[in-house]
Chains A and B, each alone.
Chain A
Amino acid sequence: MKNNLIVSGSPHIHKQESVSRIMWTVVLSIIPAGVAGVIIFGLDALWVTLVAVTAAVLTETIFEVWTKKKITVMDGSAVITGILLAYNLPSNVPLWLPIVGAVFSIAIGKQVFGGLGQNIFNPALVGRVFLMASWPKYMTTFVKPFSYDAITSATPLAVLKEGKILEHISYLDLFLGKRGGCIGEVCILALLIGAAILLYKGYISWHIPATYILTTAIFTYIFGAKQLFHGDWLFHILSGGLILGAFFMATDYVATPLTSKGQIIFGVGCGLLTAIIRLWGGYPEGASYAILMMNAATPFIDRYTKSRIYGLR
């Protein structure tokens, strides 16, 4: 009885949620995509993921010991960064590449800003873009699905970018992940299972993923082909890193807007930038750049979508 009479400040009603609980649920929800990646590309994909996670966790520990901060490895955010970084790499990269990427993600992308909650960019994407700019030759050679060896193949989007005609690839192949690509982005089915868990638990809201995917679809439908309104929008949704980005990276709590209005602006911006980079940009895929650019715009979006304080005119 005595314990029920604690006097405390608001909020008085709270859920049994914590940062680490949410983070570990996110980790669980992205595991199916990794399992699919291992099935499609072989054990290499597993090693890349494990190395990236280990490097990310170690970097976080060392940095926090060095700067005498609280060790926050157990909240799972470094694990997510490691996994997401690995999911954005081809499975046949040399193993030092995920290590360098993870160190850069955690040290420069996150800890330099002050750790979890302070970073202005998604750390995993910072690492990916760093690797992409530094060693493009490793980042753009992909293994052919189900070949389990060194046969390389271009991603469908890269083939499209070079102006070649796509050899027949069905929407079902794209949906199940039978295509060249990064470890975690190929199997849309597995990604959607994870996304469903997060949506059901309420850890992510529909605003960013829905507006992001919808904007890309509409834009590529209108401008995707020589003739207006003839673009292959379903192909654009199912290929590249769009689904992985929309559900797992554009919904990062720290670097995205707080209000639902702001999140819709964020999603539309990501969708537009992704489609523009894909159709007219220099790279075949633009999801990572689109999300990073919108991360940079987040403070402004937040400022202009501030909700009205209750009772204030």
Chain B
Amino acid sequence: MKNLIKEFTKGLIKENPTFVLVLGLCPTLAVSVSVANGIGMGIAATFVLLGSSIMISLVRDFIPDKIRIPCYIVIIATFVTIIELCMKAYSPVLDRALGIYVPLIVVNCIVLGRAEAFACKNNLASSFLDGLGMGVGFTLALILISAIREFLGSGQILGHTLIKGFEPIFVFGMPSGALLVIGLLLGFFNLLKNRKT
């Protein structure tokens, strides 16, 4: 039981996909303009991670080793298509905001990385918790980055103005602002890691 909880919590901070494993930076850089986008992307990726981890862990004994990557991709693409169509149907605004980055979850390194590194070797329960932990960790990282960017870049959080008279720093709404914020946060997390050891 203790091990199972560990599989879940490791994705949050100790092996956080964005700040420690440094995977899936492409969607992180692109969609973290606003917190709403960040949450949407995080939920979509978590759903795909969860689904693919469960599926792959269930069929891991039937897939021949040589063609495992194409098999994983087919499974992942199925879940991505599900979430994409759902998003188009129920939240067209978010779908338009995220654009190409929803279908691109197929090639998100976190999803394939967990499939290859974890789900194909572990049983259903631990794969489920691993996928969930990684997804939640990714979502938290996205929320942190997009909250900083949205606040500095437009003076708002989720569309609410926080401080009156604050003049937005436009650069944080641009791609260069994303690189700046992620670079500084990575440095900060490395600092924490070095302090501990």
Q: Is the CB of B180 within 8 A of A136?
A: no
Chain A 92-117 interface 0/1 with B at a Cβ cutoff of 8 Å (1 = within): 00000000000000001000100000
Q: How far is the CA of A135 from the CA of B174 in the complex (A)?
A: 13
What residues of chain A lie closer than 8 Å to B176, measured between beta carbons? 133
What distance in Å separates the Cβ of A269 from its nearest Cβ neighbour in chain B? 21
Q: Is the CB of B170 within 8 A of A130?
A: no
Q: How far is the CA of A108 from the CA of B169 in the complex (A)?
A: 15
Which residues 123-141 in A have Cβ within 8 Å of B in the complex?
A: 130, 133-136
Chain B 163-197 interface 0/1 with A at a Cβ cutoff of 8 Å (1 = within): 00001111110101000100000010000000000
Q: Is the CB of A108 within 8 A of B171?
A: no
Q: Which of B168, B170, B174, B176 has the most CB of A within 10 A?
A: B170
What residues of chain A lie closer than 8 Å to B187, measured between beta carbons? 112
Q: Is the CB of A134 within 8 A of B180?
A: no
What residues of chain B lie closer than 8 Å to A133, measured between beta carbons? 170-171, 174, 176
What residues of chain B lie closer than 8 Å to A134, measured between beta carbons? 168-172
What residues of chain B lie closer than 8 Å to A135, measured between beta carbons? 167, 169-170
Q: Is the CB of B180 within 8 A of A108?
A: yes
What distance in Å separates the Cβ of B155 from its nearest Cβ neighbour in chain A? 12
Q: Is the CB of B171 within 8 A of A136?
A: no
What residues of chain A lie closer than 8 Å to B180, measured between beta carbons? 108
What residues of chain A lie closer than 8 Å to B170, measured between beta carbons? 133-136
What residues of chain A lie closer than 8 Å to B171, measured between beta carbons? 130, 133-134
What distance in Å separates the Cβ of B1 from its nearest Cβ neighbour in chain A? 43
Q: How far is the CA of A112 from the CA of B190 in the complex (A)?
A: 14
What residues of chain B lie closer than 8 Å to A108, measured between beta carbons? 180
Q: How far is the CA of A108 from the CA of B187 in the complex (A)?
A: 12
Q: How far is the CA of A108 from the CA of B180 in the complex (A)?
A: 9
Q: How far is the CA of A135 from the CA of B172 in the complex (A)?
A: 11
What distance in Å separates the Cβ of A126 from its nearest Cβ neighbour in chain B? 11
Q: How far is the CA of A2 from the CA of B11 in the complex (A)?
A: 67
Q: How far is the CA of A43 from the CA of B170 in the complex (A)?
A: 29
What residues of chain B lie closer than 8 Å to A136, measured between beta carbons? 170
Which residues 20-76 in A have Cβ within 8 Å of B in the complex?
A: none
Residues of B within 8 A of A (CB): 167-172, 174, 176, 180, 187
**Besides the known contacts A108-B180, A135-B170, 10 further A-B residue pairs in the complex with CB atoms under 8 A apart:** A112-B187, A133-B170, A133-B171, A133-B174, A133-B176, A134-B169, A134-B170, A134-B171, A135-B169, A136-B170
Residues of A within 8 A of B (CB): 108, 112, 130, 133-136
